[in-house]
Structure 1
Amino acid sequence: MTTTGSALSGALPFAGLTALVTGGASGIGLATARLLTAQGARVAVLDLSEPEPAGFAAALRADIRDDASVVAAVDAAVSRLGGLDIVVNNAGIGAQGGVEDNSDEEWHRVLDTNVVGMVRVTRAALPALRASRHAAVVNVGSIAATAGLPQRVLYSAGKGAVVAMTRAMAADLLPEGIRVNAVNPGTADTPWIGRLLDRAADPAAEYTALAARQPHGRLVAADEVAAAIAYLASPAAGSTTGTCLAVDGGMDGLRLRKEG
């Protein structure tokens, strides 16, 4: 068992706990890994990108589309951390287009990464999570799972699967003391959105449009999503499981009346 009661009583909320964050080299994953570290956790970052981020207990390179790569990386993380309490399934890729715009190969590639990738990581981590007194899995979904967004059919299908999978996993793993939740960010200010803007005909106009469709009128900050992930992962959320927490400026739930 990797944790003790001190994890609940220490000054830092994650003191004595260990975490694995996938897609941790940039964006929401990097913000989450930094926050968990600042709050006392020992964090292993897993990513396909190079160079590996510095400042963490371990930085591992793995392809979540390859089961052998995932198993080796998770085993290495557990070995270096001395156990595992928290898994943050953040790694994923984007996709654009309507229902006729992506080939079968692209559907398989995106779903294999964004859905089955989470399965591979969680499955590999389960033996270590079962040994933890504060085991938690947090999956990163999207507003695309609950709101119909234009030109996002493939991406939305994958994120909808993440939400459904989160609740089913929560039901299966609760008897073993493992909590499973998800965070659904709105359009976040991340490198992926930056690349989309770079390809737009008018990046400034596209940025304005993306910000305006969220009721609070701006993009979601990666640090805001990280804070929600940290709450769901923390022992303070011990009675929270099977929940999908929206961090979207009200985009999913609010219907504000336009002035004029």
Structure 2
Amino acid sequence: MRFKDKVVLITGAGVGIGRAAAVQFGKEGANVAINSLTPANGQETLKLVKATGAPAIYLQGDVSVAADAKRMVDETVKAFGRINILVNNAGIVLPGRVDNMSEEDWDKTIAVNLKGVFLVSKYTIPEMRKVGGGAIVHNASVVAIKGVKDRGAYTASKGGVWALTKAMAADYLSENIRVNSVCPGTTYTPSLERRIQAFADPEKARKDFIARQPMGRLGKDEEIAAAILFAASDEAGFMNGANIAIDGGMTI
């Protein structure tokens, strides 16, 4: 098993890509710390991970709040003794263009998607130093590479994650801490389904989301999770500062 006895902290693991990654890490021998803002979702992921036989804990908290971010890290170390892998997966999508988006929605998007990555990384890196290194994987987005309509704040936040990946990789290379990101294309998740249902014609919206995918289908949680696990594994030991597009060909 690739992650036997490794300790992984995953933010935003209550549903979707984060949940899929948590379960896959569990199957591959990791000790898994699961963060979700919503307790019911986090507890369900916890149950699924424990069903793999992996030790796991649930950590409620908001990644955009410094005290919560520090507590997640502290409780993970208290439970498992260390942190070897961090997956910064928590994120939100609030549609809007620069001219019609509220300042509140802009600030919230940047706080969760970018500041949250900063905060959880800030408190995790000292713990990785104690064990001689580690691997950090950020979940960015295809919008960090390719412009998408009606996603002003989301694009800015994920472009920031893309750039921060490079900065962190340069900063911590000498300390044996690798930092990479995945950039998913449109992936079928509960978040996407909520956005689809918010349209006046959900079925048309569903077809439109699929139509913009060159492969003619949406991505699957497990496909993105598989790339996250690869980036976190020793198999990717020579990969640092990479932003991996898993987008069904959107950025060809």
| TM-score normalised by length of structure 1 | 0.91
* 1:17 lines up with 2:6 in the alignment: yes
Hey, what does 2:145 align to over in structure 1? 146
* 1:226 lines up with 2:215 in the alignment: no
Hey, what does 2:212 align to over in structure 1? 213
Residue among 25, 44, 47 paired with 1:36: 25
User: What are the within-5 Å matches in structure 2 for residues 67-106 of structure 1?
Assistant: 67-106=66-105
1:163-220 CA distance string (max 9 Å, x none): 0001000000101100000000001100100000111111111111111111111111
Q: Which amino acid aligns with 1:71?
A: K
1:134 is displaced (CA, Å) by 5.3
Q: Name the SS for the 1:189 alignment partner.
A: coil
Hey, what does 1:125 align to over in structure 2? 124
| CA distance in 1: counterparts of 2:223 and 2:100, whole angstroms | 32
1:133 is displaced (CA, Å) by 4.4
Q: Name the SS for the 1:214 alignment partner.
A: coil
| CA distance in 2: counterparts of 1:67 and 1:102, whole angstroms | 26
* 1:47 lines up with 2:36 in the alignment: yes
Q: Which amino acid aligns with 2:17?
A: I
* 1:248 lines up with 2:247 in the alignment: yes
Q: Which amino acid aligns with 2:235?
A: A
Q: Name the SS for the 2:39 alignment partner.
A: coil
1:241 is displaced (CA, Å) by 0.5
Identity of aligned residues (%): 39
Unaligned runs of at least 5 residues, structure 1: 1-11, 254-260
| CA distance in 1: counterparts of 2:72 and 2:3, whole angstroms | 22
Q: Which amino acid aligns with 1:143?
A: V
Alpha carbons 2:135, 2:232 under 8 Å: kept: yes
* 1:159 lines up with 2:148 in the alignment: no
**Over aligned residues, Cα RMSD in angstroms?**
1.0
Hey, what does 2:65 align to over in structure 1? 66
Alpha carbons 2:84, 2:128 under 8 Å: kept: yes
Q: Which amino acid aligns with 2:152?
A: V
| CA distance in 1: counterparts of 2:70 and 2:116, whole angstroms | 11
| CA distance in 1: counterparts of 2:249 and 2:122, whole angstroms | 33
* 1:237 lines up with 2:236 in the alignment: yes
Q: Name the SS for the 2:91 alignment partner.
A: coil
1:69 is displaced (CA, Å) by 1.3
* 1:204 lines up with 2:203 in the alignment: yes
Unaligned runs of at least 5 residues, structure 2: none
| CA distance in 2: counterparts of 1:87 and 1:230, whole angstroms | 11
Q: Which amino acid aligns with 2:163?
A: A
Alpha carbons 2:230, 2:236 under 8 Å: kept: yes
Count of matched residue pairs = 242
| CA distance in 2: counterparts of 1:68 and 1:44, whole angstroms | 17
Q: Name the SS for the 1:44 alignment partner.
A: strand
1:80-139 CA distance string (max 9 Å, x none): 122110000000111101111112222111101100001100011112111234500000
Q: Which amino acid aligns with 2:182?
A: V
